[in-house]
Structure 1
Amino acid sequence: MSLTNGRQGNDEEKPIPSLYREKAWASPYHYHLFQNFWCPSIHVQAVDSFQKNFQAKENDVIVASFPKSGTMWLKALTFAILNHQRFSSLENHPLLTANPHELVPFLEYIFGGDIHDQIHLQTNKPEPRVFGTHTPFPSLPKSLKESNCKIIYICRNPFDNFVSAWNYFNKIKPLSLPALPLDEAFEMYCDGIIDYGPWWSHMLGYWKESIAKPNKVLFLKYDDLKKDTNFHVKRIAEFFGCPFTQEEESNGTIESIVKLCSFEKMKDLEVNKSGKVGREGIEKKNFFRKAETGDWINYFSPPMIRKLSKIVEEKLDGSGLSFNNCS
């Protein structure tokens, strides 16, 4: 399906006129084709406001990601690494009493909310300020792209990304809506129709910028981070300009951070078992499922494997970006 073959929405739902739309995954909302990506209807105005009003600072850190690619994990790791000297004792660490999405808020949520919240979070947030975003690189604010702030990006094997997204959206859907069938979701995913999709152009935007400006954009793959978390935590700290000292490496600081931010630890915390977060009021427990790699094999039929493998090969051809175990 072409990105321009969608149906146009009515005036009540379109925050910005003349945008094509498609049905969203298991949601009462729609996706609007905004600046060549599928933006959830409730986020279009927020992304537009984010572009126009966000003023980046030179020491800002932005955690960018494609949805359902390990966003919460990377937010937790980023917060812990940047503050590893400030909170050297992990007994009273903020991650024990606050969800990573609260400590590293999404810019789309900030700029979709009250103007006073926007001003407060931009002016009163301790430095270095750390924010999250799902917005594709080409649509980031000019001030952010032209500043010296750091962007750390994570993506995931498209096979596992699809399975994680399908489970997640069906879990958070309103009770009044039926579950989105696997085959229907798969066809939408193959067409790039998903929150902030197409997934291939989202990945490639940050991938190309990480090659052009390696000191500004650090590109991570979920599978790599999972395989050797200690190595990448050290690498991330160096990228941020706050490397671990020899003493810190010797006394197990890296291992402590990895354990603090682990799926098992975060899922078991009371703060992540109850309560809601974000503009949509998503229950925190819904952000924790399996955190496994290769789980897609339990969902894909041979024809599905062949189809998505071909799309991955075609869309990423010549870019230098690839994923292991995609077929």
Structure 2
Amino acid sequence: MNEKELPEQLRDDNLSEETKTLISSLPSTKDFIGKLYNYQGCWYYPNTLQGVLNFQKGFKPQETDIIIASYPKSGTTWLKALTVALLERLKDISSSDALHPLQSDNPHGIVPFLEFGLYLKSSTPDLTKFSSPRLFSTHMPLHTLQIPFEDSPCKIVYVCRDVKDVLVSQWYFRCAYLQKELDKRLLESLFESLCNGVGYFGPFWEHVLSYWRGSLEYPKHVLFMRYEEMKSDPAVQVKRLAEFLGCPFTEEEEEEESGSVDKILELCSLRSLSSMEINKTGSKYDVHHSNYFRKGEVGDSKNHLTHEMENKINMIIEEKYKGSGFKY
């Protein structure tokens, strides 16, 4: 695949002269796609870095903003769908024929990424189409967002997932948009990048810890969720999310025979979302909608990683999280 066939955010054809000057002074590395640059402790491909710089220059948070944050392939699509469904239930849809937003657009179309969606090409995108609360998403670490929580009551929801499952999910996802068969060499390359802390939006552990610490320091502004808990006890976690977003379930909703919690979980299930017509066609960020839905299983990595790979990752993560209070 040549440069022009890559998703736009992975290329280097959208850089301002100012950014070209900046990246010439930044630490860099190369992977099987191209060059990555380290800015403020995080690794980006050039166009994504341009989006980050545009965002930092132009984004002004509003009080009711909600930002879905994650490391890539950590459950982002599911969390976006759940958030949309929670907020949507508060609206009165007068026509019974009206399609639910999730039936009309992919979750990534409804909740766009800031750095490689809205701000990729401009520091002043038109945000007037977003009604309150505005829903955005990001893969940037928390400190990069530069949101002054003391002055802005906007909310951030972060989802964390076992890094071994993240790695395997990344492998499948990249093979899909690179239009390659599953290639073990690519998995090994991603594994090495992960262990060395030089992958896209990495290091993984710094990413997780930025939001973990943020959730401890600003619990009213940052909610830290674990993918594994969302899978093992989805009803409890959805209620927790609703409370945090300021739209808790009422007693009436919980008492319904098929209550709103169950309805939302069914609507946002992998089976339901992947079977919707909108997700069988079209693309977002140069990736076909269907590629955002695979297995979503916990522990699938054991079917693909060697024991040596698993042990090395576990040892690195345990070392990196030591003293943080975060349990892996």
| Aligned-residue offset at 1:306 | 1.7
Residues 121-270 of structure 1: pairs in structure 2 closer than 5 A: 121=127, 123-142=128-147, 146-173=151-178, 180-251=185-256, 252-270=259-277
Q: Which residue of 2 aligns with 1:321?
A: 326
Supply the distance in 1 between the matched residues of 2:223 and 2:294 (Cα, whole angstroms): 26
Question: Quick one: which amino acid aligns to residue 268 of structure 1?
Answer: S
Supply the distance in 1 between the matched residues of 2:168 and 2:271 (Cα, whole angstroms): 20
Number of equivalenced pairs: 306
| Aligned-residue offset at 1:32 | 1.1
Q: Which residue of 2 aligns with 1:290?
A: 295
Q: Which residue of 1 aligns with 2:6?
A: none
Residue-by-residue CA offset, 1:231-279 (whole Å, 9 max, x unaligned): 111111111111111111122111101111111111111111111112x
Question: Quick one: which amino acid aligns to residue 196 of structure 1?
Answer: F
In the superposition, relative to structure 1, how do residues 92 and 99 fare at CA in structure 2: closer, same or farther (>3 Å)? same
Q: Which residue of 2 aligns with 1:113?
A: 121
In the superposition, relative to structure 1, how do residues 296 and 93 fare at CA in structure 2: closer, same or farther (>3 Å)? same
Task: Give the 4+ runs in structure 1 shifted more than 4 A.
Answer: 10-14, 87-91, 143-146
In the superposition, relative to structure 1, how do residues 145 and 70 fare at CA in structure 2: closer, same or farther (>3 Å)? farther
Unaligned runs of 5+ in 2: 1-11
Kept in 1: contact 2:14–2:47 (CA 8 A):
no
Kept in 1: contact 2:68–2:79 (CA 8 A):
yes
Supply the distance in 2 between the matched residues of 1:318 and 1:253 (Cα, whole angstroms): 40
Identical pairs, percent: 40
1:50 equivalent in alignment to 2:55: yes
Supply the distance in 2 between the matched residues of 1:265 and 1:130 (Cα, whole angstroms): 22
The TM-score, its normalising length taken from structure 2, stands at 0.87
1:272 equivalent in alignment to 2:279: yes
1:104 equivalent in alignment to 2:124: no
Unaligned runs of 5+ in 1: 1-9
Kept in 2: contact 1:170–1:179 (CA 8 A):
no
Residue-by-residue CA offset, 1:181-225 (whole Å, 9 max, x unaligned): 322221111112222100000000000010111111000111011
Superposed CA RMSD: 2.4
The TM-score, its normalising length taken from structure 1, stands at 0.87
1:34 equivalent in alignment to 2:39: yes
Supply the distance in 1 between the matched residues of 2:45 and 2:267 (Cα, whole angstroms): 32
Q: Which residue of 1 aligns with 2:4?
A: none
Supply the distance in 1 between the matched residues of 2:242 and 2:251 (Cα, whole angstroms): 13
Supply the distance in 2 between the matched residues of 1:115 and 1:138 (Cα, whole angstroms): 19
Question: Quick one: which amino acid aligns to residue 229 of structure 2?
Answer: D
Supply the distance in 1 between the matched residues of 2:13 and 2:243 (Cα, whole angstroms): 48
Supply the distance in 2 between the matched residues of 1:90 and 1:78 (Cα, whole angstroms): 22
Supply the distance in 2 between the matched residues of 1:145 and 1:136 (Cα, whole angstroms): 19
In the superposition, relative to structure 1, how do residues 114 and 96 fare at CA in structure 2: closer, same or farther (>3 Å)? same
Supply the distance in 1 between the matched residues of 2:199 and 2:134 (Cα, whole angstroms): 29
| Aligned-residue offset at 1:308 | 0.8
Residue-by-residue CA offset, 1:9-43 (whole Å, 9 max, x unaligned): x999764331222224x53x322111111012211
Supply the distance in 1 between the matched residues of 2:184 and 2:313 (Cα, whole angstroms): 22
Residue-by-residue CA offset, 1:104-148 (whole Å, 9 max, x unaligned): 0111110113567x12x2x33110001001111111034577411
1:75 equivalent in alignment to 2:83: no
Kept in 2: contact 1:62–1:130 (CA 8 A):
yes
Q: Which residue of 1 aligns with 2:316?
A: 311
Supply the distance in 1 between the matched residues of 2:172 and 2:70 (Cα, whole angstroms): 18
